[in-house]
Amino acid sequence: MLLTIDIGNTNITLGLYNGDELRFVSRLATQRVRTRDEYAFELLNMFNLNSLDPQKCTAAIISSVVPEITRDIGSAVKLTTGCTPQYIDQNIRTDLKIATDIPGQLGADMVVGAVAAIEKYPLPCLVIDLGTATKMFALDADGTFLGCTIAAGIGISLNALSSEASQLPAINIKAPAKTIGTETIGCMQSGAVYGTACMIDGMTDRFENELGYTFKSIVATGGYAKPIIKHCKREIIFDDNMLLEGLRSIYNKNK
């Protein structure tokens, strides 16, 4: 079995594959102060909760945008499963063509997401990742990574708003009944949900105008994707496990 781990700034997502079958998906809050042993304890709990033996895991692969905890989690994987994990870095084969100015700066999460999109969806493709940051990147008809936009994520934006504005509270992210709010929470929810949906629609138009063609597929992933994309005018596919599938694909390329 293959353990896939995506380490993000907010969450760590883990998926266990038995061949093509995804046996379980679990998520941990990203905590930079945790030790190797604490992460190992969490891993053991995940296997136990799913009635699986960690020693039956034969391989592992990790992508990370939080370098300060990457090796601790890798060591926890080794401790609990006996597997030495592979990492998404400059030394691993991805077959992804990157047309940015400095290809080495491309984040592991976008590399993995791009690989998954190329294998699963018609090209050219736009991928939207609504997590700690809101990221949108374009793949052309040949599967070349063309570039991206990065903005503050919905959670970061709302946290900043409530912490910097004395009379604005922390809120749950859900769509209000009306765009034009008539009380504070509804007004904030409208800005967060409908405002982000409009940004996605508008940025998609700008991508296509700049590239000179229409995307054949638009795909969204990330923790905030599901409640947002239903309010976009574009037809957007929700793919919750996109990064895990990209990790599995990259592992198979490097067997």
- What stretches of the chain show up as alpha helix (H) in DSSP? 36-49, 67-81, 108-120, 154-164, 184-189, 195-211, 225-229, 242-253
CA distances (Å), origin 153, targets 134, 191, 200, 219, 223: 5, 13, 12, 17, 10
Q: What is the 8-class DSSP label of residue 56?
A: G
Strand-by-strand arrangement of the 125-130 sheet: 97-98, 144-152, 133-139, 125-130, 217-221, 237-238
Given 72, 101, 109, 205, the catalytic residue: 109
The full length of the chain comes to: 255
Q: Cα 62 vs. chain centroid, distance in angstroms?
A: 13
17 and 2 Cβ atoms separated by less than 8 Å: yes
Q: What is the 8-class DSSP label of residue 101?
A: S
Distance CA 179, CA 104 (A): 41
142 catalytic per annotation: no
Helices and strands counted in the chain (H then E): 8, 11
- Catalytic residue list: 109
